[in-house]
Amino acid sequence: MTSLAPNPALKNDLIRLTLAEAKEGLRDKKFSSVELTQAYLESMKYYRNMNAYILETPELALERARESDERIAKGETRPLEGMPLGIKDLFCTEGVQMTAGSHILEGFKPGYESTVTQNLKNAGTVFLGKTNMDEFAMGSANITSYFGNVINPWKRADGKDLTPGGSSGGSAAAVAGGLALAATATDTGGSIRQPAAFSGIVGLKPTYGRCSRWGIVAFASSLDQAGSMTRDVRDAALMLAVMAGHDPKDSTSAPFEVPSFEKVLTQGVKGLKVGIPREYRLDGMNEDIVNLWEKGAKWLKEAGAEIVEISLPHTKYSLPTYYVLAPAEASSNLARYDGVRYGLRVPGKTLDELYENTRSEGFGTEVQRRILIGTYVLSAGYYDAYYLKAQKVRALIARDFKLAFQNVDVILTPTTPSAAFALDEKPTDPVTMYLNDVLTVPANLAGLPGISIPAGLSNEGLPLGLQLIGPAFDENVLFRAGRVLEEAASFKSFLER
């Protein structure tokens, strides 16, 4: 395992700015978009062994940065003009390779742009490249990528390399390590919030339907949702305001106006009721996590919120429910990768052999495992026993949240049951790895927005996150409570240490 090389680019204060600060700096002409972009490209060069990017696009980035500088000079700025971002390699980017972290799509260049990335382009952003990820977003440690694992910029005291979390580990590592100002990500069962917690940054999963899924490679269509990785809560609000919006090309896109999320950041939590679900107190949960959770409740109470213990009784069924439904949807969605229409093709003597050869060589072990599980639970004789029953339990989990939000405004939980683990100590048992998502999966099953806030350090000096879950389409309450937690925690990021 390779340790991270020193990064001379860290001496450049430009890569320490938040999105909001960079916007102000460009507006006041303290630096140009080209200078800002070059600072990130230099940082990407020195931290290339972090493997945060599958593909770097420096020429395209500098071209767009120059265009932004020309617009700024004319006073024609857009919401995120000149901001250099990383794009998770699950988003289709016109004319630029998109692999979903898989060999089966290596070299594939989409002929169209995803709605979310088009929205970001229209807002003036600069794309630095495509960030690494678990293959087809299936993983919790960014170790299933065909292009190799990502290394977390944080280190344990013994110097061991750590996972950045997954599946959006490349985006998390890029933002945490100064290789992108912010990044897009996706969350199917915790793939934004868990890596954000492991990497000491803010990770936002909006309400299902808030951001279009059009042009995002599908894992589990009823669970997938685009979101962002940022350095603070304000940046998350800025990103969501641009990424969100109704899209007629996506039948699950919600036809709601996008509010001005940034305006609520100073409203605080006075008068809000914060729910603490007793079922999230897991047996054997790390003591550092429990202490931080209690501290987070105290911070919100001191800011004027009322703390209320609540019950979400079907929480214990969330993980098994998820690992029936998500693989079932994946087995259907991934059927299109057959070696005929696009991507890898491994010839065979018959059509069936072509399918078999292509999929065997193109898909990694974890993807194959989930396809097989999904095909099994959808098969005749097992559909009612597994898939249909899981759908019924999912409805009960959603009902638990609906009842809870009749009494509270927002829910506070830990994001993960532990801090990041060392890459050479990763669990070999898939079920143990799946437990990384135990605290994040319920929000996906219920389609609710969630955000992870970096709030403290473990005894080993590694970042820990607190999660806020809000009612559907009420991301504003997450930003209000998240800002309070952020200010109370005064967390120092990797770039500030």
Spell out the per-residue pLDDT of the chain, length 497, in tens.
Answer: 345 655 666 667 899 999 999 999 999 999 999 999 999 999 999 999 999 999 999 999 999 999 999 999 999 989 999 999 999 999 999 999 999 999 999 999 999 999 999 999 999 999 999 999 999 999 999 999 999 999 999 999 898 999 999 999 999 999 999 999 999 999 999 999 999 999 999 999 999 999 999 999 999 999 999 999 999 999 999 999 999 999 999 999 999 999 999 999 999 999 999 999 999 998 878 899 999 999 999 999 999 999 999 999 999 999 999 999 999 999 999 999 999 988 899 999 999 999 999 999 999 999 999 999 999 999 988 999 999 999 999 999 999 999 999 999 999 999 999 999 999 887 666 766 667 789 999 999 999 999 999 999 999 999 999 999 999 999 999 999 999 999 999 999 999 98
Rg of the chain taking only CA atoms, in angstroms = 21
Instruction: Give the residues across from 185 on adjacent strands.
Output: 227
Contacts 24+ apart (CB under 8 A), 2-8: 2/49, 2/151, 2/161, 3/155, 3/159, 3/161, 4/47, 4/49, 4/50, 4/151, 4/153, 4/155, 4/161, 5/46, 5/47, 5/49, 6/46, 7/43, 7/46, 7/47, 7/177, 7/178, 8/42, 8/46
Relative to beta strand 84-88, strand 126-131 is parallel
For this structure, is 167 an active site residue?
A: yes
53 close to 87: Cβ distance less than 8 angstroms: no
For this structure, is 88 an active site residue?
A: yes
Instruction: Give the residues across from 162 on adjacent strands.
Output: 422
At residue 1, the pLDDT reads 37
E strands, 95-201, where?
126-131, 182-187
d(CA 267, CA 415): 24
pTM of the model: 0.96
Task: Determine the Cα angle at 195 with ends 33 and 326, to 5°.
Answer: 115
Residue at token pair 């990424």: 243
Write the single-letter amino acid at 394.
Answer: R
Write the single-letter amino acid at 428.
Answer: T
226: tokens are 């685009």
Q: Which of 43, 140, 167, 171 is catalytic?
A: 167
Does a cis peptide bond (omega within 30 degrees of 0) precede residue 167?
Answer: yes
Indicate the length of the chain as a whole number: 497
92: tokens are 């289709």
Q: Which of 88, 121, 130, 155 is catalytic?
A: 88
d(CA 180, CA 41): 9
d(CA 480, CA 44): 33
d(CA 224, CA 208): 7
d(CA 237, CA 214): 21
CA distances from 394 to 149, 190, 412, 441, 448 (A): 32, 16, 21, 11, 13
Please tell me what DSSP assigns to residue 87: E
300 close to 316: Cβ distance less than 8 angstroms: no
Q: Which of 191, 418, 452, 458 is catalytic?
A: 191
**What percent of the residues of the chain are helix, what percent strand, and what percent coil, each to the nearest 5?**
45, 15, 40
